[in-house]
Structure 1
Amino acid sequence: MKESVSGCPLEEAMRILGGRWRIVLIYYLLDGPMRFSDLRRAMPNISQRMLTLDLRALEQVGLVKRTIYPEVPPKVEYSLTEEGRRLKTLVDLMGDIGERLLQYQQGRQQAA
């Protein structure tokens, strides 16, 4: 992951949470732990490589926890840490904004 250039807190948040899938991953993990295959099913347009990279990045900064269960085959679950769960307000707000933007765009298209 790139380093923050300006030291601005907003830049730091965008560096960690930016990209197409990271907030979406947090959204799904807010419901509870999920296995890799469950996340792939919930997000069918994400590639396996991108899912792996984004989960590792979120784990590296302490927002996601990876738990490996000693079974055969090994069972791996991903869950949010306490810090990751604190992002619920942000995720909810972004969802509200996304809904408003979609309605706005649909209204503009109908008016045209």
Structure 2
Amino acid sequence: MQTSYIAEYPAYHPEAAIIEYLHPLLLNKKITIILGTWCSDCQRELPRFLKVIDHAGFPYDQLTIISVDQEKSPGEEMKEVPNFTRIPVFILTNTDGSELGRITEIPEISLEHDLLALIKK
């Protein structure tokens, strides 16, 4: 995972206009990421997603990252995150825990665009 992070984070260039727009909208949100370090989609999308939220000034105390094991079924840590079958999953919630939406596996347009679409929904 470290090698992909080193390659993907600096190589990804999120759209600046969307990042600027996201900044105030993310301040009262929480994000949960479910990933597996062995998964190639996770290795590509996690560093990109972290760059998006870094540039948008997302507060990391409102971020939860859960890593699942390829060989085991999800355990107790997954009780609060039902209904996922593919990874990575980026789950956006309000501070009260109500889910606004998810980006699953790969974004439809781009991570920043899809994140904005979830907020505006």
- TM-score tier by shorter-chain length is under 0.3
User: Scaled by the length of structure 1, what TM-score is found?
Assistant: 0.24
User: Scaled by the length of structure 2, what TM-score is found?
Assistant: 0.23
Which has a greater percent of helix? 1
Which has a greater percent of strand? 2
Which structure's CA Rg is the greater one? 1
